[in-house]
Amino acid sequence: MSSRDHFTSRIGFILAAAGSAIGLGAIWKFPYMAGTNGGSVFILLFILCTIFIGLPILISEFMIGRRGQRDPINSFKEQAPGKPWYTVGWIGLIAAGLILSFYSVVGGWILSYLFRALTFSLTGKGLNFALLFNDLITNPWEAIFAQGTFMLLTLLIVQAGIKGGIEVASKWMMPLLFIFFILLFIRSITLDGAVEGIKFMFIPDWSYFNVDTLVLALGQAFFSLSLGVCAMITYASYLAKSEKIVNSAVNVAAMNIIISLLAGLVIFPAVFALDYSPEQGPGLVFIMIPAVFEQLPMGSILLIVFFILLLFATVTSSIALLEVVVAIGIGNKTQTRKKATWIFAIIIFVIGIPSALSFGLLSDLKILDKSIFDFVDYLTSGILLPIGALMISLFAGFHYSKKISREEMQSSPFIYWTWLIIVRFIAPIAILVILLNSVLG
Ligand code: PFF
């Protein structure tokens, strides 16, 4: 493809940006983070962080990308010649690569589950879903093989280019996934004892209100909106000048919150009704989803469809991650795109292997008291994404003149000034305080 293709329609862009945002972050990570951090307080903080910090930064990324019309590094270089802003691009490259390294591990789990669903070995009375998940993640060969297969899939789609791959896939799969979640929610909420799950999600237990929860909620907001790694800058660089970025950003953020909450509303009522613990960690969704489907008529068939949809949601995010790495990595040398895609994919695969093994073979290896998988997650969501987001916020807030940013936003004065105050002061200060607390504390 030519690297300067444009999206054919606004809805195409929104769906592609939402496709990049909505993925494992909302469906896999959000429920387990909420589960291990007391539920309601984490959820509340996540929503607040999304609206008051994430959304304004998302608008900023759209603005920077659309104005630049090129890959992030060159975009920053051209918009701020001689200044070091382009380092944001390098942070993005490293963060996106690291995220993809463990994202592909979880993508691999989905492939393994899909395979099991297709062979009907995920259903049948008396299955212990927790044990089943454990068997899978502790088997080194399966974990690495599945991770590699997932990377290959991502790589092949990225090579096919923006229009062919991303747009078409997101257009169909996202709405279908949404319908599925509604169906699952109805089943989950009508189980006996489900109401405890709702209480867990919505009645605050303030003992969980502390800086750690705040760091995690902010990291979750950035991760799930794909912020701080220049992904949205990259996507918006394909956006025509005439599009309204505020509306697009609001849509993406809203869809992301809705899918996250829906995932929680499917998982937590079932957790309490079926007597599981909300604190299962990364396995939560993989354990609970088959358990909920077991309660449905034709569950084993529906489970197959569900994992296919989940795979698509995951792939629309993983392609964004690889796209960022490739776009930044090759800059304007677009003729090397194909080769670069392969090289980066292989490097990221290799970097991801320790994460894939960190539940089994390497489970004793700890960095800062965390497993390798958790450490890479913390390094990205807890440190790199906030730093990237901070710089992007300052760039849009201070580097652009008010005339430029107002023109770009095309919105009412109230919305414009609220945005400006947030990206100039509130977001940077909040991110800094939270970052310092997390690193020093
Ligand atoms: N937002 C994605 C998710 O929630 O699954 C993860 C992600 C994709 C992060 C792309 C960053 C990115 F550039």
The CA 378 to ligand 1 mean position distance, Å, reads: 14
Mean predicted lDDT score pLDDT of the chain: 89
The CA 120 to ligand 1 mean position distance, Å, reads: 30
In a domain, 5, yes or no: no
Beta strands in 340-398 (DSSP E): 366-367, 370-371
The CA 321 to ligand 1 mean position distance, Å, reads: 7
Residues 204/45, Cβ–Cβ less than 8 Å:
no
pLDDT at residue 202, rounded to an integer: 96
Q: What is the DSSP string of 203-245?
A: S--GGG-SHHHHHHHHHHHHHHTT-SSSHHHHHHTTS-TTS-H
In a domain, 2, yes or no: no
In a domain, 1, yes or no: no
Whether the per-residue pLDDT at 268 is higher than 50: the answer is yes
pLDDT in tens, 213-237: 998 999 999 999 999 999 999 888 8
pLDDT in tens, 99-114: 999 999 999 999 999 9
Residue bearing the CA closest to ligand 1, atom 3: 25
Q: Is the pLDDT higher at 131 or at 168?
A: 131
Tell me the whole-structure pTM to 2 decimals.
Answer: 0.93
Q: What is the mean pLDDT of the segment spanning 299-313?
A: 87
**pLDDT > 70 in the chain, percent:** 94
In a domain, 187, yes or no: yes
pLDDT at residue 8, rounded to an integer: 63
pLDDT at residue 2, rounded to an integer: 43
Closest-lying ligand 1 atom to the alpha carbon of residue 225: 1
pLDDT at residue 25, rounded to an integer: 96
**Which phi and psi (to 5°) does residue 122 adopt?**
-105, 0
262 confidence band (pLDDT: 50, 70, 90) = very high
**Which phi and psi (to 5°) does residue 370 adopt?**
-120, 155
Whether the per-residue pLDDT at 343 is higher than 50: the answer is yes
Ranges 6-10, 70-74, 134-138: which has the least confidence = 6-10
In a domain, 376, yes or no: yes
Residues 431/389, Cβ–Cβ less than 8 Å:
yes
163 confidence band (pLDDT: 50, 70, 90) = very low
**pLDDT > 90 in the chain, percent:** 61
In a domain, 205, yes or no: yes
In a domain, 25, yes or no: yes
Ligand 1 contacts (CB < 6 A) are 20-21, 23-26, 96, 99, 223-224, 226, 229, 231, 317, 320-321, 324
pLDDT in tens, 19-39: 889 899 999 999 999 999 989
The CA 25 to ligand 1 mean position distance, Å, reads: 7
Residue of 328, 344, 278, 286 lying closest to 310 (CA atoms): 286
Q: What is the mean pLDDT of the segment spanning 335-341?
A: 86
Q: What is the mean pLDDT of the segment spanning 402-415?
A: 94
CATH number for the domain spanning 231: value is 1.20.1740.10
Q: What is the residue range of 239's domain? A: 10-440
pLDDT at residue 154, rounded to an integer: 93
Residue of 431, 426, 414, 392 lying closest to 87 (CA atoms): 392
In the chain, how many domains are there?
1
pLDDT at residue 127, rounded to an integer: 78
Instruction: Give, for ligand 1, the residue of 224, 285, 322 to mutate: max count of ligand atoms closer than 8 Å to Cβ.
Output: 224
Q: Which two tokens stand for residue 326?
A: 């490739």
The CA 52 to ligand 1 mean position distance, Å, reads: 19
Q: Is the pLDDT higher at 9 or at 235?
A: 235
The CA 194 to ligand 1 mean position distance, Å, reads: 30
The CA 234 to ligand 1 mean position distance, Å, reads: 13
pLDDT in tens, 344-379: 999 999 999 999 999 988 888 899 889 999 999 999
Residue bearing the CA closest to ligand 1, atom 11: 226
Q: Is the pLDDT higher at 170 or at 431?
A: 431
pLDDT in tens, 168-199: 666 777 788 889 889 889 988 999 999 999 99
Instruction: Give, for ligand 1, the residue of 223, 237, 324, 376 to mutate: max count of ligand atoms closer than 8 Å to Cβ.
Output: 223
Whether the per-residue pLDDT at 155 is higher than 50: the answer is yes
In a domain, 3, yes or no: no
Residue bearing the CA closest to ligand 1, atom 7: 226
Distance CA 199, CA 106 (A): 29
